[in-house]
Amino acid sequence: MKQVEWKWPLGVIGFVIAAAIFLHYQPHKSGDVAAWVQAAASVVAIAWSGWSSRRLQLDVRRDQRLAAAESIFEIAHGSFMFSRYVVDQLGAPEIMRDVREAKRHFDYAQLQELERIAAAIPLHGLETPGLVKLIIILGATIRQMREVVSLALSMDRPMDEGERSEFTITLTQMRNRCDETQRDIGEIVELIRSGRG
């Protein structure tokens, strides 16, 4: 049952009970009227404080979910930007050769750090199930990219044409997957921000 569905029947029941009590104990003197007004005002004040407290809790929870989702988006965006760097740096045979011969720097440590960061995101604390799936996809993509790059850099011979083609296609697919993942996470951030997610 949705959260709104149970509220209106409860309100109708409350109104019927209040009307029955009022009809049974109708005020006959001005002191009775004052007592009824005071009782009604107390009920309204209690209801208002309960509603405002609940609203505050929901706002705090939404802000926490938004902060977590925005942080995860920044990690995903950084991963996508680094995947572009990997494709640019290792996509061309001559650059790959220079990296393997240590004539050109490739930031392999950054790739390892991104993998560590993605693996360290606490999935059990997230209250947005869609983010959990996307974080798992992002972590797996970064890990696969690190493994493919590590294998390519550790080869003791230059890649042949078939290996080069497969390597470039694989890196491009991983870059595209990082892009899709960051976009999907961005959509979740917007849903949370607008109060719809």
CATH number, domain with residue 154: 1.20.120
Confidence class for position 6, pLDDT limits 50, 70, 90: low
Enclosing domain of residue 162: 62-194
For 99-113, what is each residue's pLDDT tens digit?
A: 888 888 888 999 999
Per the model's pLDDT, the better-predicted residue between 44 and 176 turns out to be: 176
State the total domains in the chain.
Answer: 1
For 17-43, what is each residue's pLDDT tens digit?
A: 877 777 777 767 767 777 777 877 888
Specify whether the CB–CB gap between 79 and 145 falls below 8 A: no
Confidence class for position 54, pLDDT limits 50, 70, 90: confident
What pLDDT is stored for residue 1 in this prediction? 44
For 115-165, what is each residue's pLDDT tens digit?
A: 999 999 888 877 888 899 999 999 999 999 999 999 888 876 778 888 888
* Residue 81 belongs to a domain: yes
What pLDDT is stored for residue 13 in this prediction? 79
Per the model's pLDDT, the better-predicted residue between 2 and 162 turns out to be: 162
* Residue 174 belongs to a domain: yes
* Residue 48 belongs to a domain: no
Query: Region 47-53: what's the mean pLDDT?
Result: 84
Question: How does DSSP assign 22-83, residue by residue?
Answer: HHHT---SHHHHHHHHHHHHHHHHHHHHHHHHHHHHHHHHHHHHHHHHHHHHHHHHHHHHHH
Sign of CA dihedral 69, 70, 74, 80: positive
